[in-house]
Structure 1
Amino acid sequence: MEFTSAAARRRYDDIVAVAKDTVVALDFDGTLSPIVEDPDSARIHHDAPDLLVDLAEVVRAVAVITGRPARQALALGGLDEVGDRMGGSGRELFLFGQYGNERWSSTNRRVVSPRPPPGLSSFLRELPGILRRADAAEAYVEEKGLAVAVHTRRLPEPEVASARLLPGLRDAAERHDLMIEPGRLVAEVRAPGMHKGIAVRTLADEVGAAGFVFAGDDLGDLEAFAAVGELRDAGLATLLVCSSSPDAEGPEELVELADVVVPGPDGVLALLRQLVDDARRS
């Protein structure tokens, strides 16, 4: 495990010292699950369920904060069962779906979700024309209920296609009072007013956290990184983890803010395993 600075190493030690009052929050894709071409085929890392249960024994709470719909993340991650197994430790698993618009927990097993934003259906009607004009008609469109994600990963020259498509998506989103969240070969259009940073602050406040760890891999995690930075300024022990790999490097913005940069989901789990071991010894 390599830290980005001596200060980052000290932050890890501070987290270990307050582990029992720390929240560990994780993105799903690229962090708990490897990035795959078909978002519907993503699965949580095979070692993650056991490790999350072990983690719950030494920290205050574990959370998954994702852009995916909550029900989809529950199914792909087997998180319902993971939450069941955490019950024995008296800890809770939280899930914030669609950037925090949806919420589920292992003690309140109902997904709480708002209505779709009014402009989303109009945006969807326009979307086929936007794709054709950008020569991206074969882009994969993922309808999430509260949002629409447009993936260019399957297209020839996907980065070029993404750059070509983004202006049209941004213009349409603005006209329908929606916001756009560009990511790695994907752009997500959704309602404004909610992001992962709000979920981080809400969770830290609700559980009375003394420490907060967040791990993410893409631009949609920037608000979460910023919120953890605010918690740090308020006196909490914090640790920021960027999940990166040679075929899917983390954005520079995340790398620059991170205390630890790890090689994809394998690296995230290795870091969490080290945290579990160190917390048990402390």
Structure 2
Amino acid sequence: MSAGALPAPLLEALGSVATARSVLLAFDFDGVLAPIVEQPGGARALPASASAIDELVRTDRVAVALVSGRAMDSLREVSGPPEGALLVASHGAEGDGVPSELDDGQRALLARVVEAVRAVVDAHAGTHLELKPAGAVIHTRSAARDVAAQASRLVEDGPGAWDGVRALRGKEVVELSVVEADKGSALLALRDRLAERSGTRPVVVYAGDDVTDEDAFRALEPGAGDVGVKVGEGETAAEFRVGTPEDVSALLQHLVSVLRA
């Protein structure tokens, strides 16, 4: 899709963003900058999107952030972020402006969570466990559909319901975290941090495809010029929608043209 084929109201909103004194561009990675793949380690941003991100990071008055459910090490590996890009991982539990140390109670709770999720994974073929600094994730993409549904339900209704545990359900994953974190809070923290540095509240553009991105969409303020873009199908709080990561490439290339003009 060329920029001209993007929805006209979206192009109009992006044109207004171009006049802002400060801009924060934030994007989920998987399903937005990169197509969804069977093996998470094989995900890479589309070349046109990667090139546009490189250009935008070097643009005056623009900050660029990747806001992902991946653990930080995984996000760095697959995204190869350009110098100057802000990174938020684990749905806001890791990254720029995020406290990195757990207290003793959180560490003990995390150990119990990991043990419980591992037991579910061991009993359900095709699922696997991912460990994060503040949480544990069950991945179900490679499991039979009935197995995936049962495993997800056991994690959500079991350790996901414990006091002090936050459960986040995304596409083929259930993530349990022992810290209060979500993409909306992380996005607001980035916005406020940039506002303190520049003295100007940045206008925010956020694009995401997953249900966990809805927290970020709900944190936006369209009346202040913010723009939310849902990628793909599904109910959303975002004001705008595009279909595929290729459409996001067109959106990014359009942002390069209007912000560097």
TM-score, structure 1 length as denominator? 0.78
Where 1:137 maps in the other structure, the secondary structure is: coil
Q: CA–CA distance in 2 between the matches of 1:128 and 1:102?
A: 22
**Residue 3 (structure 2) pairs with residue 13 (structure 1):** no
Q: Deviations over 1:140-193 (max 9, x none)?
A: 222223222211111123xx4333223311122223631111111111111241
Q: Which amino acid letter does the alignment assign opposite residue 182 of structure 1?
A: R
Where 2:32 maps in the other structure, the secondary structure is: coil
Cross-structure match for 1:118: 108
Cross-structure match for 1:71: 73
Where 2:167 maps in the other structure, the secondary structure is: strand
Where 1:118 maps in the other structure, the secondary structure is: helix
Q: Aligned Cα RMSD in Å?
A: 2.4
- How far 1:239 moved relative to its partner? 1.0
1:31–1:216 contact (8 Å) kept in structure 2: yes
Point out where structure 2 has 5 or more consecutive residues left out of the alignment. Answer: 196-200
Q: Which amino acid letter does the alignment assign opposite residue 226 of structure 2?
A: T
**Residue 211 (structure 2) pairs with residue 219 (structure 1):** yes
Q: CA–CA distance in 1 between the matches of 2:137 and 2:256?
A: 35
Q: CA–CA distance in 1 between the matches of 2:152 and 2:52?
A: 38
Cross-structure match for 1:253: 235
Cross-structure match for 1:60: 62
Where 1:47 maps in the other structure, the secondary structure is: helix
TM-score, structure 2 length as denominator? 0.84
- How far 1:94 moved relative to its partner? 0.8
2:6–2:247 contact (8 Å) kept in structure 1: no
2:137–2:175 contact (8 Å) kept in structure 1: yes
Q: CA–CA distance in 2 between the matches of 1:183 and 1:22?
A: 28
- Percent pairwise identity: 25
Q: How many residues align?
A: 247
Cross-structure match for 2:246: 266
Q: CA–CA distance in 1 between the matches of 2:249 and 2:90?
A: 23
Q: Deviations over 1:102-155 (max 9, x none)?
A: 2249xxxxx97223643221122222433466xx23312222232222111111
Structure 1 pair 129–70 and aligned structure 2 pair: CA distance change class (3 A):
closer
Point out where structure 1 has 5 or more consecutive residues left out of the alignment. Answer: 84-91, 106-110, 245-249
Q: Deviations over 1:62-88 (max 9, x none)?
A: 001111122221122111xx11xxxxx
Q: Deviations over 1:6-52 (max 9, x none)?
A: 5x55433321222x511000111111222111222222323333211
Q: CA–CA distance in 2 between the matches of 1:265 and 1:141?
A: 27
Q: CA–CA distance in 2 between the matches of 1:193 and 1:120?
A: 13
Alignment of 1:123-134 (within 5 A): 123-131=113-121
